[in-house]
């Protein structure tokens, strides 16, 4: 997990925001894929790949923020 700590936060936020919104028109893929998942129609391999491609940077960012928070808490104890 230390490799996540070495990614510059600015890059991580930028990539996560960009891939969450790309393509911006007519509808972000992430919105479309989450809707398909909730409706039960996310079944094509390309759609599943797209779902993971657009979701993974946000997961990595969430892990990074959690790890930073844990380190700060340990430093205060």
| pLDDT at residue 25 greater than cutoff 90 | no
**What is the predicted pLDDT for the residue at 77?**
55
Please state the pTM of the whole predicted model.
Answer: 0.78
| pLDDT tens sequence across 27-56 | 887 888 889 889 999 889 998 898 898 899
**Alpha-helix runs per DSSP H in 1-77:** 2-6, 9-21, 29-39, 45-76
- 12 in helix, strand or coil? helix
Cα distances from 31 to residues 26, 46, 73, 75, in angstroms, run 11, 16, 34, 38
Give residue limits of the domains in the chain: 2-76
pLDDT over 70 percentage in the chain: 97
Average pLDDT, the chain: 87
Residue 73 CA, chain-centre distance (Å), reads 24
**What is the predicted pLDDT for the residue at 7?**
86
């Amino acid at each position: 997990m230390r490799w996540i700590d070495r990614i510059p936060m600015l890059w991580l936020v930028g990539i996560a925001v960009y891939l969450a919104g790309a393509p911006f028109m007519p509808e972000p893929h992430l919105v479309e894929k989450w809707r398909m998942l909730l409706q039960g129609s996310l079944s094509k391999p390309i759609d599943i790949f797209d779902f993971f491609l657009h979701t993974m940077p946000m997961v990595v960012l969430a892990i990074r923020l959690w790890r930073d928070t844990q380190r700060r808490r340990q430093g205060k104890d």
